[in-house]
Amino acid sequence: GGNSMTNEERNLLSSDPYPGLRPYHEDEQDKFFGRDADAEVLIDKVLTNRLTLLFAASGVGKSSLLQAAVIPRLKSPTGENLEVVYHIDWVSEPVSSVRAAVLQVLHTSGKLPEGAADEAGETLAELLEFCGLFVRHPLVLILDQFEEFFRYQRASANFQSFIEQLTAIITNPQLPVSLVLSMREDFALEL
């Protein structure tokens, strides 16, 4: 009959494309659509600038845009073929958690030789410079929900150290890094 559904159509209906309040994830890029222009603009900025600030109101989908549209294209072997570190945990001590995230991405992709991390230097800038030896440039470091850093770390002993290490990354044009800070626009003045 004219209204019999294909299996593909049935699957599309049964897997709800909307995740609700949580952001879309990287493996849901096929369900995330309608933001191609935003993604293209952001990817272009990431590739042409060492620092990109993504400000938008809460709930407009910054994390979804990054995870489901921008990151897959940056990582795709048929796209930019770059290593992308996505960091969103601001409760943990920031220097060591960002460091761990960078190392995990490079280990998972097989780019970093076993045991190489021992030579990766003390600071984040030294780590990123070292990792630059093994990856296609730039290494993209995305710090998402960055307002949470201020919320959780402002009173901690780690606050100033992380700010100084981040500043060292931003102000060193030799580092093969593209840094993206994504945060709610009402926290932009925190920067």
Predicted pLDDT at 49: 96
CB 64 within 8 A of CB 21: no
Within the chain, strands assigned E span 51-56, 84-87, 139-143, 177-184
Cβ contacts of residue 145 below 8 Å, gap of 6+?
A: 63, 88, 90, 182, 183, 184
Q: Which two tokens stand for residue 155?
A: 């009173």
Out of 1-5, 18-22, 84-88, give the one with best mean pLDDT. 84-88
Query: Please, which pLDDT band fits residue 119 given cuts at 50, 70 and 90?
Result: confident
Q: For the chain, how many residues are written?
A: 191
pLDDT at 83 over 80: yes
